[in-house]
Structure 1
Amino acid sequence: MKFMKTAASVAIIASMGASAAFAGGHAETKLRIQTHYAPETVSGKLAAQYIADVESMSGGAIDIEMFYSSSVVKTVETFDAAATGILDCDMTGGGYQTGKNPAFQFVGDIMGGYATPYQQLSWLYYGGGLEDAQALYNKYDMQLVGWWVYGQESLASSKPLDGPAALKDFKFRSPPGMETKIFEKLGAKPIVMDFTEIFTALETGIIDGADASGLANNVGLGLYDLVKHANFPGFHSMPSDHLACNKAVWDAMPEAHRTIMSVAMEALALRTALTFEKANAAAAAKLRADGVTLWQWSEEDLQAFRDAAQATWPEFATTPEAEALVASHLEYLTELGLVSN
């Protein structure tokens, strides 16, 4: 992916600015949005459909210029670029902002929380989550418009993953942060390494497995050409991608335009969950046919992971915003029966 642009090109983008103008007596909104996804990926195509939906429902009154593959600024810089006016909206994910505030962990990847995208989305829309998260985003002059969640990720492994006991001394590639702490509690040995190092590390036996993405994406990456075990359905990680806009830009938009973008995000959320549910099911069937063993954990085993994860959450709830979000999740997860009594 392209991550760098010259200062001059960024300045040109910024000078274009978001605008709300009137043509023929009708309000017009122009927005510049960046996503980290490439246009040819499944998620990139879903983002393009969101743009098409918004422009169609607004009769062309909302005009969006989409920048794919983080082509204006680095992925981790997208949020700040939107907040400061270089862009208008960020279509990456809150997980990239945990260095700014650990509370973003609990809107970016609520590890050991929800079992399905639908449960996680229900917290946002019906469990008070949007209001709780909005306080965090507003603190940084941003407005959370909505989520799109592609589902649980699966591990790739060179040895069986038949339950928590299999994690004892399991050396695997892990992203940094809360995940390493959770798996250490279960006896695993997570190793933080760059995504690009996974293949060599698996081939040479430096690691036993890897946390990369969802099952279908892992197939596309070729991980199961190297190792022949996976867990499915996944349980440990379910990242939330977001659409977040500069709050001043959002507030200046006509109410009808804000409604169109918000409702279109709900459509994108459902379309994303369904798309990947189908893709993962197809990938599972292919892997079984190819001799890859897929391990499905029992409800008791899944709860053991959730317990370890939820015991780790307070270690990262070190700001008022993070404390509030953890409390909100625990209250809703208790209603869903996903917290041990």
Structure 2
Amino acid sequence: MKITSFLFTAGTAALMAASATAEPVTLRVQTHYATEHPTGKQLAEWADDINVMSGGEITVEMFYSSSVVASTETFDAAINGIIDCDATSGAYQTGKNPAFQFVGDIMGGYATPYQQLSWLYYGGGLDAAQKLYNKFDMQLVGWWVYGQESLASSKPIRNAADLKDFKFRSPPGMETKIFENLGAKPIVMDFTEIFTALESGIIDGADASGLANNQSLGLYDLVKHANYPGFHSMPSDHLACNKAKWDAMPESHRRIMSVAMESLALRTALTFEKKNAEAAADLQSKGVKLYAWSEEELQKFRDAAQSAWVDFATTPEAKALVDSHMAYLRQLGLVKE
């Protein structure tokens, strides 16, 4: 009995020691979203979730609207310890390695945020992407995906044929190649130039954001056509942390961070699904025409996009990610054998 009592006491003491309060940590995280943006508000909730779940052991200090460094410099700022984590987009880092395109906005792949997230968590995506991030001494913690983006246009874009000679604002990179292959005339310009270019007729439309965001920006006050659901772009934002900082955290802290990211991902997808549906109803009541592409037309865009993937995958890391996406898209039936 004495031996049993001793073992029980010793075991309890060991368990208590193992679960002793970890050292408090503050994580400095920069995002490009503003505090009043729906995603900015969700990131504030995410930071609060982490603080509460950790019993106050983890404090997330958010820096909104890229207030420390420029959005494109956030990743390097985390690598160099100026901040701890980057909550922007992997697509900003394609200059480092084109593989980042395939964790930032693969284009012409998945139909819903849930499919894209399932590649990350259940299709081997996280392991494949982690090799890329670790190469730069960063740790990919997770993603959030707000859904398909919608074009804003002054003329109907009902199918692939309507893209011929369509002049629109496009971000730089792979997107311009995809649309050029379909006969469009993408024009790379800064986001802030969209409104003047639409008003003056320099462009016929713009790739800006999702339907609800486009509405809030006032784009459909200028043009009266949109694609909904969208078909061309479904960007993901990432949480990527300095790997040394991440590795120094106890497993309990890392688990809290990962689970909180999964929660943020679900809330983001659900929030924008609702917001976009509300925006669609409101815009239609105001005379804006919405066009949903048929499965046949969607496949034409996917084929053009996936052809561009091969051309863009010029490094071993990019090729590995494209192969991983393609294998999972085949499982989902979105790519034909």
Query: Which bracket does the TM-score occupy, shorter chain normalised?
Result: over 0.9
The answer to whether the aligner puts 1:150 opposite 2:146 as a matched pair is yes
RMSD, aligned CA: 0.8
Equivalent residue runs for 1:37-186 within 5 Å: 37-186=33-182
Residue number in structure 2 paired with 1:270: 266
Alpha-carbon distance in structure 2 between the residues aligned to 1:48 and 1:156 = 30
Task: Work out the number of aligned pairs and report it.
Answer: 318
Q: Which amino acid aligns with 1:256?
A: S
Alpha-carbon distance in structure 2 between the residues aligned to 1:87 and 1:56 = 22
Residue number in structure 1 paired with 2:302: 306
Alpha-carbon distance in structure 2 between the residues aligned to 1:227 and 1:118 = 30
Q: What is the CA distance between 1:340 and its match in structure 2?
A: 3.0
User: Which of 256, 260, 263 matches 1:260?
Assistant: 256
Q: What is the CA distance between 1:291 and its match in structure 2?
A: 0.3
Q: TM (normalized to structure 1)?
A: 0.92
Runs of 4+ in 1 over 6 A off after TM superposition: none
Alpha-carbon distance in structure 2 between the residues aligned to 1:90 and 1:176 = 21
Q: Which runs of 5+ in 1 are unaligned?
A: 1-23
The answer to whether the aligner puts 1:221 opposite 2:221 as a matched pair is no
Alpha-carbon distance in structure 2 between the residues aligned to 1:39 and 1:235 = 28
1:27-76: CA deviation from partner (whole Å, max 9, x where unpaired): 32221111111111101001001000000000101011111111111111
The answer to whether the aligner puts 1:31 opposite 2:31 as a matched pair is no
Residue number in structure 1 paired with 2:279: 283
Q: Which amino acid aligns with 1:263?
A: V
Q: What is the CA distance between 1:191 and its match in structure 2?
A: 0.7
Alpha-carbon distance in structure 2 between the residues aligned to 1:26 and 1:153 = 42
Alpha-carbon distance in structure 1 between the residues aligned to 2:196 and 2:73 = 29
Q: What is the CA distance between 1:26 and its match in structure 2?
A: 3.5
> Match of 2:129, SS?
helix
The answer to whether the aligner puts 1:203 opposite 2:199 as a matched pair is yes
> Match of 2:23, SS?
strand
The answer to whether the aligner puts 1:245 opposite 2:241 as a matched pair is yes
Larger radius of gyration: 2
Check conservation: 1:112, 1:237, Cα contact below 8 A: yes
Check conservation: 1:27, 1:254, Cα contact below 8 A: no
Q: What is the CA distance between 1:175 and its match in structure 2?
A: 0.5
1:118-154: CA deviation from partner (whole Å, max 9, x where unpaired): 0000000000000000000000000000001111100
Q: What is the CA distance between 1:200 and its match in structure 2?
A: 1.1
Residue number in structure 2 paired with 1:9: none
Q: Which runs of 5+ in 2 are unaligned?
A: 1-19
Identity of aligned residues (%): 77
Alpha-carbon distance in structure 2 between the residues aligned to 1:263 and 1:25 = 19
Change beyond 3 A, Cα 1:222–1:25: closer
Check conservation: 2:42, 2:268, Cα contact below 8 A: yes
Alpha-carbon distance in structure 2 between the residues aligned to 1:255 and 1:28 = 14
Alpha-carbon distance in structure 1 between the residues aligned to 2:77 and 2:197 = 35
Alpha-carbon distance in structure 2 between the residues aligned to 1:228 and 1:26 = 56
Residue number in structure 2 paired with 1:324: 320
Q: Which amino acid aligns with 1:217?
A: N
Alpha-carbon distance in structure 2 between the residues aligned to 1:278 and 1:158 = 25
Q: What is the CA distance between 1:25 and its match in structure 2?
A: 4.9
Residue number in structure 1 paired with 2:4: none
Alpha-carbon distance in structure 2 between the residues aligned to 1:91 and 1:131 = 19
Residue number in structure 1 paired with 2:185: 189
Alpha-carbon distance in structure 2 between the residues aligned to 1:113 and 1:124 = 13
Alpha-carbon distance in structure 2 between the residues aligned to 1:75 and 1:244 = 14
Alpha-carbon distance in structure 1 between the residues aligned to 2:280 and 2:272 = 12
Alpha-carbon distance in structure 1 between the residues aligned to 2:281 and 2:82 = 44
Q: Which amino acid aligns with 1:253?
A: M
> Match of 2:66, SS?
coil
Check conservation: 1:46, 1:268, Cα contact below 8 A: yes
Residue number in structure 2 paired with 1:10: none
